[in-house]
Amino acid sequence: MSRQQPPQVHLETFGCQMNEYDSELVRSLLTRDGFVFTDDRERADVILMNTCAIRENAHNKVYTHLSDLRALKRQRPLVVGVLGCMAQNLKEELAEKEPLVDVLAGPDSYRHLPELITKAMESQEQGELRRQMAVDLSEYETYDDVAPDRRDGVNAWIAVMRGCDNFCSFCVVPYTRGRERSREPEGIVAEARLAAAEGFKQITLLGQNVNSYRCGDWDFARLLVAVADVPGIERVRFTSPHPKDFPPSLLDAVVSHPKICKHIHLPVQSGNDRILGLMNRTYSRSAYLSLVDQIRSSAPDIVLTTDVIAGFCSESDEEFSDTYRLLEEVRYHAAFIFKYSERKNTIAARKWPDDVPETVKSERVTALADLQRRISHERNRAYLGTTLSVLVEGDAKRSSLQSKGKSDGNITVVWSKESVPADPGQMVRLSVYDCSASTLYAASTGDRACRPKSV
């Protein structure tokens, strides 16, 4: 580089946990090559957006940010890069409609970023303004040799695999992240040891379908236990498994290992068999409910959460009612509920019209959210008067006089710092005295003022 000072990079992340992890890889790869990072985009020479193409909200946020950058780019030299799933799935659209984008790099192309950014900066200096692109998918890239550049916190994300072979008809992941490939278990366990040495107390293992993990004679259950056995790690979580192939060995690991959290996120998406078939979920409503029964028979106190899509192509009122009734029957602790939004290049976008009116989708999402809020509140009331182990995360959102953390079941717990002073990463024992649908309120186990309230 001809510059005397290293280029300053501002990196923004949109979307899922895998994108958070990928941003840590990007920071590591660029730092190796002499780039430095800044939280102040006004000082940045390079602004990168690591994007998500799965959820419409994240998609819209990226376009809003790009619009905001136009004025900034008119004021001074600036390289703008779009990374990740949108760069992969919408490369033609971004190349044609967003002239301010200088760099496009897909999820398998982050090793090329130092070169792409350098060429883009040189192109600007020479007045040529040539876009730099690397959007090829790989059958082999896992970034196994790249140590993520993690920021402070108590949780370390670790991707155990990349890509997906499920081809759910609504999902763009196989087209943006490629086919499924698993990392070597030794590299994953070594990364967990490194995270523990850096002070992280919790590991969350990531994959589009973690129970498809395979490497030699290692399956995901064996890997999960190996990570949970790493000294210094207090808790291990994972997301997300697929209901179609949830092996008994994985449930046994969750139930038996004290450091594997008693929380399973089990996406259902729909409670109707015809819609599940259109979604290519490869399980039926009855098979899903049978798995829920199996899990709860093994661990009655386990926390179950899920994902639901409302308003999928051709979903009728009665078919939606099947989903509503499934939530009533399973009684999840929490659910992430989304309106169906058509994603370019998916099977659904190619085969069927997005024909459920937006008003109907919104009504269905509201109905499910209202139901789940009532169930979540009832679920949380069961914790009143109980004592929980909580991993401290930091200040509560609403007050710096309060701390927050997560229970083993991944439920948010809030308490007064005066009652229980503790630093992030510590484990504390707390008594629950109040709750909302999303939060447990707690105090010291010895606090006599800690009484269950009427809520």
- Are 110 and 29 spatial neighbours (Cβ–Cβ below 8 Å)? yes
CA distance 25 to 21: 7
Is 215 a known ligand-binding residue?
Answer: no
Six-digit token string for 362:
């919104």
Six-digit token string for 394:
């930091």
CA atoms within 13 Å, Cβ hemisphere of 346 = 24
Q: In degrees rounded to 5, what are phi and psi of residue 147?
A: -80, 120
Is 16 a known ligand-binding residue?
Answer: yes
Is 261 a known ligand-binding residue?
Answer: no
SS (H, E, C) 166-184: CCCCCCCHHHHCCCCEECC
Is 168 a known ligand-binding residue?
Answer: yes
CA distance 299 to 265: 14
CA distance 193 to 231: 8
Among all chains, which residue has been given the structure tokens 């590991």? 203
Q: How many CB atoms lie within 10 A of CB 400?
A: 10
CA distance 432 to 419: 13
Is 85 a known ligand-binding residue?
Answer: yes
Is 313 a known ligand-binding residue?
Answer: no
What is the torsion angle, in degrees rounded to the nearest 10, for the CA atoms of residue 389, residue 394, residue 396 and residue 397? -140
Q: Which residues contact 35 (CB under 8 A, 6 or more apart)?
A: 6, 7, 8, 9, 46, 114, 117
Nearest residue to 435 via CA among 329, 331, 334, 337:
334
Nearest residue to 186 via CA among 149, 226, 158, 225:
226
- Are 269 and 340 spatial neighbours (Cβ–Cβ below 8 Å)? no
- Helix axes 17-32 and 113-125, enclosed angle (nearest 10): 70
Q: Which residues are annotated as a binding site?
A: 16, 52, 85, 164, 168, 171
Q: Which residues are annotated as a binding site for [4Fe-4S] cluster?
A: 16, 52, 85, 164, 168, 171
